[in-house]
Chain A
């Protein structure tokens, strides 16, 4: 290597950010909870401290080592002891993750993306009512936020309304949490599309729970996660009840391969969901995008 060449080169970029965002950090499965027939929660602990610092609503890229990697939102709150992800077994990677046992290694990259903004921009407790609406496993990305909200009610936060819809009773996740949230003051309403003989609750779409839930739509905000069609109809119903569209947050999903804005798969029109999402306000642009076919 000639010295000339060194002179001509711009300063070495070695000091810049390395590829760390691309290399998983190894975690061990410390607890495995079967939530439903196809949903498993994994509690993860890093092989070496520190534990991950994140905000509720963000996601990690989880690697089933040698199989592949998928985007999964955290289903725990940062103040909880264990980092948790709840995974539905729908593909090769999610299957491998769901099959993992206590002691197995899982790769974690993250946290990535936007969050539910549980606290106000100033870091204060939000005094408005919060309406949390989940469809099926959509409760998972909301679980940590609900934990924070329930904690905040003791600090003067607004009331919490948790509305959960599921295909059938066996598909309702986090039943113990739902009981615990109820015991700590949250109002919890459940409905199923398809009742079984042991079900004595509501039957119908989650939107049917809105009208008599008891929140003041003009002084509340909402956090929605579930199938796009469910979020669209729920958001519209909330707006019809008088809620400010800017206060309605939705968590969106697209194919994700990198989590860092390079792979191009998670585009939703002008949004790169790994960077601009997954949690976005329903107002304006997003409400339009969700009504356009195949966006």
Chain B
């Protein structure tokens, strides 16, 4: 997304102090939202309950590399968002890892199906990352913008309030700039914040992205943003973009993978891939699920949907065996889906460049390195027209 503010946003850009941020959290609670945000867990930044800015990971930074994640703490540092992304995305709040679809009860000689209560406490997220907001938009296309709508996903998406915080401290594994999903963001949020901590003080530039975002912002103390604030934001986002050493060729990768299904690299990466599925469990867009029924001793039936992974052998099971039997075919399925066939299926990329799959891979397989390796020996067959892709 463009780092520059569209000119017509100028008037609606305001500045919040850290105290103002506290008031924003208080305001959201008063409106009935359950407020969650990034918190400092034992050894990672994890989603948690947020009552005030004291619950946010003040002075915490993350150090990420292939197969490695560490947090470090600096007492002198006031920054609340001086880190990139933790292992858990916000996906689980809308698409839980295990969810009851219905319960069936035997009544006389028939069965009565009951769907779980759809009421829920609306969620407000303070401190989602741009890449995570883009990931939710990608999930929207799968779960609510197809032929069938997952109403409970929609319920939660509709009711939730998202205050995104733009990224100033990308990790070594981040590549959102190349995937057009960060470090800045222009849409998909209720409020967007940019944390500044310079000689003009510790403060947040705030923009609203929805009527309710505007309402909430107008109810907390702010001042209009000035030139200095806006310049500081522009510089911060440019610096963050430049700091990302990893990238993917957003416009070309879909066709690159579509024409390289028989590339030798698939077998080479499979020699390292453990098929553990860590990449799919940390991915903010992976949506595969299993559906299974259970019964209790009284005969009541429960149908449940749980997250699953295309790295499981059972994922592609058909009577007689699995279609994706080799690790190579499972890795190929995962990566070509993320970067290529997602376009065919949902008209968007399936990757936002958050880098979690690189970090949480126990052997440090790097999706950007794998794409580069395929591109280095690209088997372009002249005369074979490309399928549609990201361009």
Contact = CB atoms under 8 A, between A and B. Distances in A.
The listed residue with most B CB atoms (<10 A of its CB), out of A7, A19, A253, is A19
A264 B326 CA distance: 19
B323 A295 contact: yes
Contact of A263 (B154, B290, B295): B290
Interface residues of A, number: 54
A292 B329 CA distance: 10
A52 B222 CA distance: 59
Given A24-B113, A65-B104, A262 B31 contact: no
B147 A261 contact: yes
B387 A270 contact: yes
> Secondary structure at chain B's binding surface: helix, strand, loop or mixed?
mixed
A8 B210 CA distance: 10
Interface of B: 30-33, 101-102, 104, 110-111, 113, 115, 122, 142-143, 146-152, 154-155, 158-159, 161, 212, 215-216, 258, 261-262, 287-295, 299, 301, 303, 305, 308, 310, 315-320, 323-326, 328-329, 332-333, 336-337, 340-341, 344-345, 387
Contacts of A16: 149, 151, 154
Contact of A264 (B158, B289, B320): B289
A105 interface: yes
A294 B319 contact: no
Interface in A250-295: 253-255, 257-258, 260-265, 267, 269-272, 275, 285, 292-295
Interface of A: 1-2, 4-5, 7-10, 12-13, 16-19, 21-24, 26, 47, 63, 65-69, 88, 90-91, 94, 105, 107, 253-255, 257-258, 260-265, 267, 269-272, 275, 285, 292-295
The listed residue with most B CB atoms (<10 A of its CB), out of A94, A253, A269, is A269
A230 B333 CA distance: 24
Contacts, number: 158
B296 to A, nearest CB: 9
A212 B52 CA distance: 81
Given A66-B295, A66-B301, A13 B262 contact: no
A8 B215 contact: yes
A23 B315 contact: no
Contacts of A257: 289-291
Contacts of A63: 293
Nearest to B261: A292
Contacts of B323: 254-255, 294-295
Contacts of B333: 267
Nearest first, the 3 A-B pairs at minimum CB distance are: A270-B344, A264-B288, A294-B329
Given A2-B31, A13-B155, A69-B293, A275 B146 contact: yes
B172 to A, nearest CB: 30
Contacts of B289: 257-258, 262-264
Contacts of B290: 257, 263
Contacts of B155: 13
B341 A255 contact: no
Contacts of B151: 13, 16-19
A257 B294 CA distance: 15
A90 B326 CA distance: 23
B146 A23 contact: no
A293 B266 CA distance: 12
Contact of B31 (A8, A69, A94, A267): A8
B351 to A, nearest CB: 15
Contacts of B294: 66
A263 B288 contact: yes
14 contacts: A7-B215, A63-B293, A65-B104, A65-B301, A90-B320, A105-B110, A260-B148, A261-B146, A263-B289, A263-B290, A265-B288, A269-B336, A294-B326, A294-B332
